[in-house]
């Protein structure tokens, strides 16, 4: 008997995107410090890949203003500033809105998305930072996959910044608003209301950007003992 159940496609992310994502997160988490030198040879050995995807990954990070390339030597890590955060999220806002639009247009089966969301709501206010970060990534990834656009998924995999979310962790009030927004987003996608799904996702991502920026400013003031 032929099953009517839709089997999700497997998304394959290129090696250069995986390397870029790993380095980006390490920089944004503060594990790799501003001014630190990144060696092509050393990174390739540590990550078990050739120098080519590492070089390509560093070129991607330079385009994001996270590093400055050094001829034949690798790169130097730049400092993260408000402009970087804003540029990063403005691109994510645009692409995630498009992903939500496509997910709704494609008739995404929201069964698993609903279950993920409802199971997390049962935690109330007791969830940890790590649990929220994992849940939030899974929620958004399901929508990206439902866009059925591999190029879009790769861009979002690269743009998604757990490092920023972890380092500049949102407040409890913000997270509650996000959970409410997730519930509304599920409703619009299930209804096939693509325009409203796009609008809500863009609003959701914009709120995330503003929250991260506010927390960044607070962190800078604290570091300067203001």
> Which pLDDT tens digit goes with each residue over 167-215?
566 666 778 888 999 999 999 999 999 999 999 999 999 988 888 888 7
User: Do residue 131 and residue 206 come from a single domain?
Assistant: yes
User: Do residue 96 and residue 73 come from a single domain?
Assistant: no
Which residue would you say has higher pLDDT here, 218 or 42?
42
Q: Which two structure tokens, joined as six digits, stand for 215?
A: 């927390």
Whether the pLDDT of residue 2 is over 60: the answer is no
Residue in 88, 117, 119, 93 with CA at minimum distance from that of residue 24: 88
pLDDT in tens, 52-68: 999 999 998 887 778 99
Q: Which two structure tokens, joined as six digits, stand for 50?
A: 């050739």
- The burial class, CB within 10 Å (0-12 / 13-18 / 19+), for 154 is middle
How many other β-carbons are positioned within 10 Å of the β-carbon of residue 119? 10
Quickly state the pLDDT bin for 3 (edges 50, 70, 90).
Answer: very low
User: Do residue 120 and residue 190 come from a single domain?
Assistant: yes
User: Do residue 67 and residue 161 come from a single domain?
Assistant: no
User: Do residue 175 and residue 130 come from a single domain?
Assistant: yes
Q: Is residue 6 part of a domain?
A: no
Q: Is residue 9 part of a domain?
A: no
User: Do residue 163 and residue 216 come from a single domain?
Assistant: yes
User: Do residue 206 and residue 100 come from a single domain?
Assistant: yes
Residue in 179, 165, 190 with CA at minimum distance from that of residue 120: 179
Quickly state the pLDDT bin for 224 (edges 50, 70, 90).
Answer: low
Domain count, the chain: 2
CA distance 39 to 55: 10
Which pLDDT value is given to residue 163?
A: 59
pLDDT in tens, 130-157: 888 889 999 999 999 999 999 999 888 8
CA distance 195 to 101: 6
Q: Which two structure tokens, joined as six digits, stand for 224?
A: 């300067």
| 85 close to 91: Cβ distance less than 8 angstroms | no
Dihedral sign from CA coordinates of 56, 60, 77, 219 = negative
User: Do residue 39 and residue 99 come from a single domain?
Assistant: no
pLDDT in tens, 36-51: 999 999 999 999 999 9
Residue in 100, 94, 96, 99 with CA at minimum distance from that of residue 193: 100
Q: Is residue 195 part of a domain?
A: yes
Q: Is residue 5 part of a domain?
A: no
CATH number of domain containing 97: 1.20.120.530
User: Do residue 147 and residue 90 come from a single domain?
Assistant: yes
Which residue would you say has higher pLDDT here, 48 or 8?
48
User: Do residue 30 and residue 140 come from a single domain?
Assistant: no
User: Do residue 70 and residue 89 come from a single domain?
Assistant: no
User: Do residue 64 and residue 101 come from a single domain?
Assistant: no
pLDDT in tens, 83-106: 888 888 899 999 999 999 999 999
Which pLDDT value is given to residue 222?
A: 67
Whether the pLDDT of residue 116 is over 50: the answer is yes
Q: Is residue 3 part of a domain?
A: no
Q: Is residue 2 part of a domain?
A: no
What domain range is 33 assigned to?
15-77
Q: Is residue 54 part of a domain?
A: yes
Which pLDDT value is given to residue 30?
A: 76
Which pLDDT value is given to residue 1?
A: 43
Q: Is residue 7 part of a domain?
A: no
Percentage with pLDDT > 90 across the chain: 48
CATH number of domain containing 23: 1.10.10.10
């Amino acid at each position: 008997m032929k099953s009517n159940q839709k089997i999700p496609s497997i998304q394959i992310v290129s090696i250069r995107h995986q390397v870029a994502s790993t380095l980006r997160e390490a920089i944004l988490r503060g594990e790799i410090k501003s001014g630190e030198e990144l060696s092509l040879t050393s990174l390739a050995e540590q990550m078990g890949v050739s120098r080519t995807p590492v070089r390509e990954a560093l070129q991607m990070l330079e385009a994001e203003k996270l590093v400055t390339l050094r001829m034949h030597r690798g790169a130097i890590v730049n400092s993260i500033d408000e402009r970087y955060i804003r540029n990063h999220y403005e691109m994510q806002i645009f692409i995630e809105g498009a992903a939500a639009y496509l997910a709704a247009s494609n008739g995404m089966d929201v069964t698993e998305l609903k279950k993920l969301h409802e199971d997390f709501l049962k935690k109330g206010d007791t969830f940890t930072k790590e649990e929220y970060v994992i849940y939030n990534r899974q929620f958004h990834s399901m929508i990206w996959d439902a866009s059925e656009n591999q190029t879009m998924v790769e861009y979002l995999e690269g743009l998604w910044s757990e490092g920023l979310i972890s380092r500049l962790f949102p407040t409890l009030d913000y997270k509650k608003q996000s959970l409410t927004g997730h519930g509304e987003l599920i409703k619009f996608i299930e209804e096939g209301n693509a325009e409203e799904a796009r609008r809500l996702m863009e609003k959701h991502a914009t709120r995330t950007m503003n929250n991260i920026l506010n927390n960044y400013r607070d962190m800078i003031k604290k570091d300067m003992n203001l």
